[in-house]
Structure 1
Amino acid sequence: MADSDSGEKTEEPTAKKLTDARKKGQIARSKDLGTFFVLVGCACGMLLVGGSLASTMADMMSHMFSINRQEAMDVNALFKVINDGIYQIVPPLLWLFFIVMIAAFVGNTMLGGMSFSWEAMMPKASKLSPMAGFKRMFGTQAAVELLKSVLKFFVVFIVAFLLLSGLFEEILGLSRETMPANFEHAVNMLMWMFLVLALSIGIIVAVDAPYQVWNHTKQLKMTKQEIKDEYKGTEGSPEIKGRIRRTQYEMSQRRMMQDVPDSDVVITNPTHFSIALKYDPTGSGAPIMTAKGVDEMALHIRTIAKEHQVEIIQSPALARSLYYTAEVGDDIPEELFAAVAQVLAFIFQLNEHKKGKAKKPKAVAKNLPIPDDFKY
């Protein structure tokens, strides 16, 4: 079972796997999507500037065929005629090239985004391998491309047949129109037919684009063992992980020490354990543990408590119980409410006594009510 798990690529590619593949130039691409945008962009460009381009070419050809003998013998005049024609035809051509270029860029980056990889450009011996070429020619991908080619042929053939059938009478009517109206009509008809034929490729794209995404993901699928190895590599060596844990622990200790001055009382063992508690009547109604520690950390808590005049009470049993049954930031266990309530009552009465508003309270009882299950 372990061998089966490690050998079958059943898991979706991780983010790192996808990033590494993109660096190698392996992204989802649909050639038909790029072709579709180029053809549609070219058709739209021709519809926008085709009329201007056709009229400019007609004017230029008319001028060229009507050159008189004096202009033909004068080199400067001839070059002027050519320059005038170029200046007239260049603007609409530039607009057409710009529209096609934008369409090509959008079509080729829509599916997988932009990607530039030196590694993909490097020559590879596997690309020259006859066996690899044989597999590409007769593999699954080649069969899919053949099927798409056949499908494209039939789609374009059917759409072209329907267009010609529907416009047959209009096409025959061109012979009854006069020049240049019939020429403009024919060009306009051809450009719209070209646009419809280009849009028909969208049927192929609607199938090919999702297939390319699915096929790309399938090729990048990973085994469970590969995911485990990647996780280990990402997490780093045990030394680095240990250093990270130590840093996180030190940061949590610093945050904990910042809460000691705001505590109401510190309960000690008296030397080995120190527990800082705070009671907020507006909160959950239960005392909250703000800090805890043993040995050096316990001494550090007591030192900070003395510096900020936080009362320190010695109750070994209660200190041990709180240390082992509660975590910093949590409410103390309900079973220890009665014992902690006596300590807090003493603290609050002591504070009132210091203000001169009450008598000095009796010391906290040595045998506080701690359940047997909470004695350590």
Structure 2
Amino acid sequence: MTNAPAPAPVPSSAQAIPPLPPVLLPSLTGLRFLAAFLVFGFHLHAGGLFTGTGAEGVLEVVFGQGATGVGFFFLLSGFVLTWSAREGVPARVSLRRRAAKVLPNHLVVWVAVFAGLAWLGGVSVLAGVAGLFLLQAWIPVQSIYFGVNTPAWSLSCEAAFYAAFSPLLALVDRVPRRRLRVLAVVLMGSVVLVPVLALPLPAGLEYWFVYVFPVTRALEFVLGIVLARLVRAGLWPRLRLWQAGALAAAGYVASGHLPGTFGYVAGTVVPLALLIPAAAMADITGARSPWRNRVAVFLGELSFAFYLVHQAVMRVAEGRHGVGLPTAIGISVALLVGSLVPAWLLHRLVERPAQRLLLRPRAPA
């Protein structure tokens, strides 16, 4: 197995943000689009477009648990931030890189969606302000945490995770190597117990506590940190990517049959926690991976923008029911393409230029 990358020198104020470690993980980039596509399919299914077409059962199996793709992103964020962190380089370096990728896209999409909703007369100022500053997930009111651009609620959680990353990483670094596996198991068990703690809550508050609340979702982020440490320490067991993928697919389908809120996060946390390190190990060792090809990586690079814009695009098909299977399939393809095209434009015209601007070398003081 390839050892963890050697630490790089501390960058001076005149240097650009240092590059990622020599061992990149393209399979994780490819998997990002799969997770985003499952979220897309979930919203497509939940919108009822296929109601009465006879295909509802198929969509339920394939996309019924698609919202669990957000858990993949939370785990992946902790993993990637830790993987790119290096001794001697301040944690704010990794955070600045993530902020340069996330915030410009968020602001552009938020402005566009807010303006559209304001023109239609269906926007809450409170939801808009909370969403603009990525505070919406802290407010247990669905019209607020899902307000304006609904998928951005997860960015509210991510913003909190990024702010807490440095102390969380320091705490994990203090855990002895031999206890990292125990900590990973404890964190997975904690995620499984969250729905138990939420049982006494009213239904709406229970859902928020399990699925949206940044504190409970932070367990997955911290688990991602621990998983990255296990891989870098050479402590990850020999689990092939196809085996982890099969377990993730089985867990995904099975989680749809769990009672109450157990299917939202708890049912997939273990298989996803196996999948991410397995994909990373496939890249490190050069093992075969279907997520490392050029198409998968390209789509993975668009995945964040795709995730942000897809539900706003889907609003054009709201209320369409009983259209017949061929028409429903055609509309679905149009919505997919109609989400990918603006995602590509957002990636090329906003995300990449913003990263070049925000991560460029600074002039010496």
TM-score relative to the length of structure 2: 0.20
Which structure is richer in relative contact order (CA contacts within 8 A, separation 6 or more)?
2
Tell me which structure has the larger Cα radius of gyration: 1
Q: TM-score scaled by structure 1?
A: 0.20
Instruction: Please identify which structure carries the higher strand content.
Output: 1
